[in-house]
Amino acid sequence: MQLSKIPHKAKEICSPFWPDLETCRRIMILMHHEMNRCLDVPDHPANDFKMLNTYVTQLPQGNETGQYLALDLGGTNYRVLLITFDVDSSEPTIEYDTERIPPELMTGKGDELFQFIAKSVKKFLTERELLDVHFDMGFTFSFPVKQTSINRGTLIRWTKGFSADDVVGKDVVEILNRAMSALNLNVTCRIITNDTVGALASCKLTYPDTVAGVIVGTGTNAAFASELPAGPSFNDLPPSATYVVINTEWGAFGDHGLLDEFKTEFDRIIDEESKNPGKQTYEKMISGMYLGEITRHILRRLVNERILLQGNMPEKWNDMDSIPTSLLSDIARDPDYLFYNTERIIREHFNVTEYTDEDLQIIHHVGVAVANRAALYAGTGVACLVNRIKRREVTVGVDGSLFKLHPNFPANMLNVIRRLANPLFHCKLQMSEDGSGKGAGALVASLMRHTRSC
């Protein structure tokens, strides 16, 4: 294919999606100062970060042993897992069952929802002839909770289609333990956590220098092991604690204007059309839920200005969410000057048959640009954490579809991290597998190992 010059106007429209190092540095500094403020004044309505105390003060060391249960509840499907740690193996063995919650239980009585889950645990143990064995459990509960200890978490609100009554404002661990006790299950829930903390724990099993976990997929979040903060939210940690894992909930960074100068017109459109306008600003710039829509709006703008496809708008581009973010990964796999995937996508997904080589170049350029900014901004956030952690060797466990499936995402993240982080700190990114399952099991194994040694 003959490479033609991308029109100046197309490059100009996409230029904010190629932020320079100084832009990323300014965002990192804003993030650092806002994190400090949120630690000093927790629960302030203008806080961008939650900086939540997870009460995790013991992380896996790789020498955990024993069998543990994990329960992973984060949507309509949930998992019951049996995780076996053996000192002779670097990886635990995992057995699991996946169950689907009936819609009527998602919106019905809370007690009945947790009774249904407890029955699944009983079925899981019965099938493996383990009913008579005592198990400690880790509970990954991917809904907004206010933790008051490592095994106490009050539901703030339901999301993801759940509205089961008489659970909001209650301790979900207590409700779960009560439901399991009613079935005479010899199971005790020891930890409540989320997938981000789990990503940290899962990765630390294999990489001892792991001190942070990051999710970059449909949504985004980060958690990191911090020196003990002086803020009031951290006064009730054990006297023996030397660090604590903080859940940043960083997706809301920028919700009070700190990122306004970095927003494009397309970010503003996405926000206005979203189900939560004014919320999750940082997440909307970098997570998989929104990158396809940003791409669609840029392409529509280019068509409307007759820069692309001779001004002929593909019918599908009029529909929200008609460009899945996964297509950006396919586009990025095209070799230079040979836009095979881009051409296949425009023909098969959007039914466009009349286009030029220049059109393919422009579409490819847009897709790569949108993912590029997402990776650089995600890496900027990680660089902020690396500078806060202040260790010479830092491994960050990363989970999520964007990091796993986009061919350029990890390298682009790491590039900006190494340019922004203090040169004394060396950062590595490692794929973290199954934080919500294996990670939860690793956390409870670590807790029980520490409990036995005390």
Query: Cα–Cα distance between 404 and 227 in angstroms, integer?
Result: 30
| Residue 165 designated active-site | no
**Is the CB of residue 448 less than 8 Å from the CB of residue 94?**
no
Q: Which residues contact 125 (CB under 8 A, 6 or more apart)?
A: 131, 133, 135, 185, 187
**Is the CB of residue 394 less than 8 Å from the CB of residue 427?**
yes
Catalytic residue among 171, 195, 255, 434: 195
In the numeric block, which tokens belong to residue 447?
């807790």
Give the largest Cα separation in the chain, rounded: 72
Residue matched to tokens 């949108």: 370
Query: Cα–Cα distance between 55 and 46 in angstroms, integer?
Result: 24
| Residue 160 designated active-site | yes
Query: Cα–Cα distance between 114 and 34 in angstroms, integer?
Result: 38
3-state secondary structure of 346: helix
Catalytic residue among 123, 160, 170, 390: 160
Residue matched to tokens 């042993």: 65
**Is the CB of residue 218 less than 8 Å from the CB of residue 287?**
yes
In the numeric block, which tokens belong to residue 421?
């982080």
Q: Is 93 exposed, middle or buried (0-12, 13-18, 19+ CB in 10 A)?
A: exposed
Q: Which residues contact 411 (CB under 8 A, 6 or more apart)?
A: none
Q: Which DSSP string corresponds to 393-448?
A: EEEEEEESHHHHH-TTHHHHHHHHHHHHS-TT-EEEEEE---IIIIIHHHHHHHHH
3-state secondary structure of 281: helix
Instruction: Give the active site residues.
Output: 160, 195
